[in-house]
Structure 1
Amino acid sequence: MTLQAKLDAFKADFKAGKPPYNAPAEIHPVMERATAELIASAAAGKALKVGDKAPLFTLKDPDGNLVSSADLLAKGPLVLTFYRGVWCPYCNMELQALQAFLPTLQEVGANLVAISPQIAANSRKSVRTNGLEFPILSDTHNDVAQAFGLRFALPDYLVELYKNLRNDLPTFNDDPSWTLPMPARYVIGQDGVIRYAEVNPDYTQRPEPEAMLDALRG
């Protein structure tokens, strides 16, 4: 089953309120409204694209070690995936798919890192829960996401919904701003130029890992 097929199946069960989700029906139109408004804002069109120079960054991994994009690029191409957090099932399924694809990335000499605004403890939980062999780097305040053009602020009505669902992003991220990155995946060449870019304001849609192979082999 493809990654998107798994995401679609989860979405259908979630909207149907099937156990163990049991989500109240009234939340779905609110979430769909927020996604539609983000799409209509054309924010994704302002994100970095193929051919752009990727900004350099240094972030901490879940154990507090500094990880430099320059150091990773010195070893080979770099794959970045922007990860909303451990609370997002769609993001977790994407990480699992990337983990399954990791041997292929290693065969072409690429490194893979996820970038998330969540605190280190939540990243450690993500690594354990999803069985990851690649790091989730802490992007405090979504600063790197902003450099890539991905950061956006949740509308007030979605903030209220998240609060009612006890999805407390300020606690998850140690940041009161209620901002997130749009889900995105990039391949950056050793020259620092973006070879592949997939940005989607609809968090339920994710590209297949295989979609970046041509960029990695090119």
Structure 2
Amino acid sequence: MLNRAVSKSLIALPLILLSMAVTAELKIPSKNPALSVTGQQQLGTRENNIGLAIGSTVADFSISTHDNKTVTLKDIQSMGDTLVVFYRGGWCPYCNVQIRQLTQAWPEFQQRRITPILISVDKTDAAALAQRTYEIPFPVLSDTDLIAHNAFEVVLDVDDATFERYKKYGIDLELWSGKNHHKIAVTAAYIVDKNAVVKWAHTSLDYKTRPSVEQLLDIIDTIAR
């Protein structure tokens, strides 16, 4: 059973601006771009063999909710089947579009008894920031030490030139993660069963192109047959 405090934080995460100080420090992108939908031939593929393959068992890990409650792989397993989505960070407007789409489709996931779980390297307070104020009714987890990222093998090294270019855009990865490792997630989506076995996997280095909600729901329905 989940600890009551942890369970409460996993059920509903108000995505709000926590304070004027944090808002000033962590600049939230104002753009609202359109995501490109993954082509059917690429759907369910692992670019450059990045990430765990279908049939792999996820290694145990322990990370945090936005309010510093601990969440373990065992806690996640207790939810049953999960859709684990790795995103680059709250600074990424494409990630925010995807998060909003997943949030809007929550009733569809509920109907299928599968829980989306969002993971990034954002520190705990940054994990509670978003471009707009709305509630996410499923877990948004902070993995600043890349524990879950390594468990799923989706760590992306940001080179020095890209790091400096992002800073010119007003995006300081060190402020968002609270770390100086300059690593983020490869955009990825996994369907993981209650035994921590990967049933479906998709990874892509093209962060502007991701599986649509409709595609994900079709895949869930296919796996359930």
Bin for the TM-score computed over the shorter chain: 0.7 to 0.9
Change (3 A) 1:207 1:172: same
Return the alpha-carbon distance in structure 1 between the equivalents of residues 136 and 50 of structure 2.
31
The aligned counterpart of 1:47 is 51
* 1:92 to partner: Cα distance: 0.4
Return the alpha-carbon distance in structure 2 between the equivalents of residues 167 and 122 of structure 1.
12
Return the alpha-carbon distance in structure 1 between the equivalents of residues 52 and 170 of structure 2.
33
Unmatched 5+ stretches in structure 2: 1-32, 37-45
* 1:128 to partner: Cα distance: 6.2
* Aligned ranges 1:44-193 → 2 under 5 Å: 44-126=48-130, 129-193=133-197
RCO higher in structure (CA 8 A, sep ≥6)? 2
Look up the equivalent residue of 2:34 and give its one-letter code: K
Which deviations, in whole Å up to 9, do the C-alpha atoms of 1:157-190 show, x marking residues without a partner? 2122112222110111001011111010111012
Pick the aligned partner of 1:6 from 34, 47, 65. 34
* 1:130 to partner: Cα distance: 4.7
Look up the equivalent residue of 2:35 and give its one-letter code: L
Percentage identity across paired residues of the two chains: 27
Return the alpha-carbon distance in structure 2 between the equivalents of residues 65 and 50 of structure 1.
30
Aligned residue pair count: 182
RMSD: 2.3
Return the alpha-carbon distance in structure 2 between the equivalents of residues 183 and 46 of structure 1.
10
Change (3 A) 1:196 1:142: same
Using the size of structure 1 for normalisation, the TM-score is 0.75
Higher relative helix content: 1
Using the size of structure 2 for normalisation, the TM-score is 0.73
* Aligned ranges 1:190-209 → 2 under 5 Å: 190-209=194-213
